[in-house]
Amino acid sequence: MREQDCDVCEQLCEHPQSICLAKAEMLSDDAVHELAETFKILGDSTRIKILHALSKRELCVCDIVAVVQMGQSAVSHQLRLLRGSRLVKYRKEGKMVWYSLDDEHISLLLSQGIEHIAHR
């Protein structure tokens, strides 16, 4: 989209071209929503601990419980959310369920976040 394609109507403080371009480039509602959902899932201390632990090695649920020091039920609820956002995957082995990060994206997202907070 070229800047010229944007209607230019003079109005108070607004900058119509910027607004029009920004609207044109906007992500779809679905994408925005899914993105927000994903980050929302990342936005919890318990889940960050779980993900960070899983970024090093596969763990079964009761190991995760021991690592993050929360109740088994609470951990299971969080794991469900993490599965729902495809941030973790799992495999069953008898009674146990082994969790790991869904792919390397997730590790990258985490490190990117760690870099952000490290930068001051």
Partner DNA sequence: CCAACGTATGAATAATTGTTCATGTATTAA
Partner DNA sequence: TTAATACATGAACAATTATTCATACGTTGG
Output DSSP code: residue 94.
T
DSSP per position, the chain? --GGGS-----TT--HHHHHHHHHHPPPHHHHHHHHHHHHHHS-HHHHHHHHHHTTS-EEHHHHHHHHT--HHHHHHHHHHHHHTTSEEEEEETTEEEEEESSHHHHHHHHHHHHHHH--
Q: For residues 71-90, which are near a second copy according to CB under 8 A?
A: 86
72 binds DNA (CB under 7 A): yes
Pick from DNA, a second copy, none: which does 76 bind, CB < 5 to 8 A by kind?
DNA
95 binds DNA (CB under 7 A): yes
101 binds a second copy (CB under 8 A): no
86 binds DNA (CB under 7 A): no
Token readout for 120 is 């001051």
Q: By CB under 7 A, which span of 2-10, 24-32, 88-96, 105-113 interacts with DNA?
A: 88-96
Q: By CB under 7 A, which span of 1-9, 24-32, 92-100, 110-118 interacts with DNA?
A: 92-100
Q: Which of 1, 5, 8, 19 binds a second copy (CB under 8 A)?
A: 19
Pick from a second copy, DNA, none: which does 91 bind, CB < 5 to 8 A by kind?
none
